[in-house]
């Protein structure tokens, strides 16, 4: 029995999926591609490589979590020892599988091993550069990671798989339950995947930030102690401070000036932090600006989650590509 399976998921990824699936060729693994209602030739291309394809029923809302679960289900009852998940807009870095497998096989308590994800073209747009900065996380023990991960099958089963109703940050939510099942998680100091954000418009960045906010709120509902600082920052900078500024505009200019000073101080602290991390001055200025602005679409995403939950509506995916 092959000890490894690789599950790739995607929806209308086009050339990005071609690059992804091509990078998996030659791996000693069972490969499955799960498609979420693509209208391009994703399914046909995957099959042309001899890859098993699972096409999700379009009557049920698509989520990345649902797609990953479907991929595992397609493996049947005789699961391999390990499962590597990869998103369809990523390519696998040569040598990663050997590195990841060596680490997870050496420690039976390791439930998830991940590495570094980097952007393919961070210089193509400020939005790609923002994503590249997001992926820069230190190696060592972790509490959560992104969707590219090597998972012990026993840990996947112990956690009950992904929650198909979580439409953003579903990987965080899954990692938290893996840890609750008694397993540890580790990020290795090795490149794992190359990601193609392919973001070139402000509207794409905004929609992605809305999705992140939805994830903050949904994870907060499921795991109240996770991402608490992120939710608090959103409420302070996108709700409380604007309300104070509005009050100040009608009552006293000093309150308004105080709010402006808080925003400016926050921006400068972020800029200095990025500079100290080695980021170029101009790029740090742009990054700090977008990090400050992101709280507003985050708030929209958080509000959208709570409205959906209140109405009992399905959690529909929020796409930015």
pLDDT digits (tens, 9 = 90+) for 198-229: 899 999 999 999 999 999 999 999 999 999 99
Question: Is residue 317 over pLDDT 90?
Answer: no
Task: Note down the domain range covering 298.
Answer: 203-311
Please indicate, yes or no, whether residues 127 and 28 belong to a single structural domain of this protein.
yes
Question: Phi first, then psi: what are they for 251, rounded to 5°?
Answer: -110, -60
Helices (H), the chain: 15-24, 42-48, 64-74, 96-106, 126-135, 153-159, 170-180, 202-222, 228-235, 241-250, 253-276, 281-293, 295-311
Please indicate, yes or no, whether residues 154 and 244 belong to a single structural domain of this protein.
no
Q: Report if residue 317 sits inside a domain.
A: no
Please indicate, yes or no, whether residues 166 and 30 belong to a single structural domain of this protein.
yes
Please indicate, yes or no, whether residues 299 and 237 belong to a single structural domain of this protein.
yes
| Overall domain count for the chain | 2
Q: Report if residue 14 sits inside a domain.
A: yes
Please indicate, yes or no, whether residues 118 and 212 belong to a single structural domain of this protein.
no
Q: Report if residue 27 sits inside a domain.
A: yes
Q: Report if residue 319 sits inside a domain.
A: no
263-291: buried (b, 16+ CB within 10 Å) or exposed (e) per residue?
eeebbeebbeebeeeebeeebbebbbebb
Domain stop point among 200, 215, 233: 200
What is d(CA 277, CA 274) in angstroms, rounded to the nearest whole number?
Answer: 5
What is d(CA 87, CA 308) in angstroms, rounded to the nearest whole number?
Answer: 26
pLDDT in tens, 221-247: 999 999 999 999 999 999 999 999 999
Domain stop point among 184, 200, 216: 200
What is d(CA 210, CA 308) in angstroms, rounded to the nearest whole number?
Answer: 14
Are 144 and 176 a contacting pair, CB within 8 Å? Answer: yes
Domain stop point among 179, 200, 221: 200
Q: Report if residue 8 sits inside a domain.
A: yes
Three-state secondary-structure class, residue 234? helix
CATH number of the structural domain spanning residue 34 = 3.90.550.10
Please indicate, yes or no, whether residues 40 and 175 belong to a single structural domain of this protein.
yes
Question: Phi first, then psi: what are they for 151, rounded to 5°?
Answer: -120, 135
- The predicted model gives 150-168 an average pLDDT of 95
Please indicate, yes or no, whether residues 242 and 294 belong to a single structural domain of this protein.
yes
Q: pTM of the prediction?
A: 0.90
Please indicate, yes or no, whether residues 131 and 263 belong to a single structural domain of this protein.
no
What is d(CA 104, CA 115) in angstroms, rounded to the nearest whole number?
Answer: 12
What is d(CA 55, CA 64) in angstroms, rounded to the nearest whole number?
Answer: 13
Could you tell me whether strands 90-92 and 30-35 are parallel, antiparallel, or unpaired per DSSP bridges?
unpaired
Length of the chain: 321
Please indicate, yes or no, whether residues 236 and 114 belong to a single structural domain of this protein.
no
Please indicate, yes or no, whether residues 263 and 134 belong to a single structural domain of this protein.
no
Kind and range of the H or E element at 110? Answer: strand 110-119
Question: Is residue 58 over pLDDT 90?
Answer: no
Could you tell me whether strands 110-119 and 82-87 are parallel, antiparallel, or unpaired per DSSP bridges?
unpaired
Q: What pLDDT shows up at residue 149?
A: 97
Question: Is residue 46 over pLDDT 90?
Answer: yes
pLDDT in tens, 111-130: 999 999 999 999 999 999 98
Q: What pLDDT shows up at residue 1?
A: 47
- The predicted model gives 254-274 an average pLDDT of 93
Flag the least confident range among 145-149, 223-227, 251-255, 293-297.
251-255
């Amino acid at each position: 029995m092959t000890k490894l399976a690789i599950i790739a998921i995607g929806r209308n990824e086009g050339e990005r999926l071609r690059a992804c699936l091509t990078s998996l060729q030659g791996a000693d693994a069972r490969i499955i591609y799960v498609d979420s209602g693509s209208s391009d030739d994703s399914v046909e291309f995957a099959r042309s490589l001899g890859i098993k394809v699972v096409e999700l029923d379009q009557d049920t809302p698509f989520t990345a979590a649902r797609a990953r679960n479907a991929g595992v289900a397609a493996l049947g009852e005789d699961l391999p020892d390990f499962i590597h998940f990869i998103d369809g807009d990523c390519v696998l870095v040569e040598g990663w599988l050997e590195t990841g497998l060596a680490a997870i096989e050496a420690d039976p308590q390791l439930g998830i091993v991940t590495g570094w994800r980097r952007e393919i073209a961070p210089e193509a747009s400020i939005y790609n550069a923002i994503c590249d900065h997001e992926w820069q996380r230190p190696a060592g023990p972790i509490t959560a990671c992104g969707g590219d991960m090597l998972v012990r099958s026993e840990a996947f089963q112990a956690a009950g798989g992904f929650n198909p109703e979580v439409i953003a940050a579903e990987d965080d939510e899954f990692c938290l339950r893996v840890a609750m099942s008694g397993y540890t998680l580790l990020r290795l100091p090795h490149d794992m995947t190359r990601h193609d954000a392919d973001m070139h418009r402000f509207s794409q960045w905004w929609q992605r930030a809305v999705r992140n906010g939805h994830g903050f709120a949904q994870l907060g509902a499921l795991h109240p102690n996770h991402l608490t600082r992120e939710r608090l920052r959103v409420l302070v900078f996108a709700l409380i401070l604007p309300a104070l500024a509005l009050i100040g505009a009608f009552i006293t200019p000093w309150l308004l000036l105080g709010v402006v000073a808080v925003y400016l101080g926050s921006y400068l602290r972020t800029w200095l932090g990025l500079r100290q991390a080695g980021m170029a001055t101009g790029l740090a200025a742009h990054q700090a600006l977008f990090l400050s602005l992101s709280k507003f679409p985050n708030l929209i995403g958080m509000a959208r989650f709570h409205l959906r939950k209140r109405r009992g509506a399905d959690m529909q995916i929020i796409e930015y590509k």
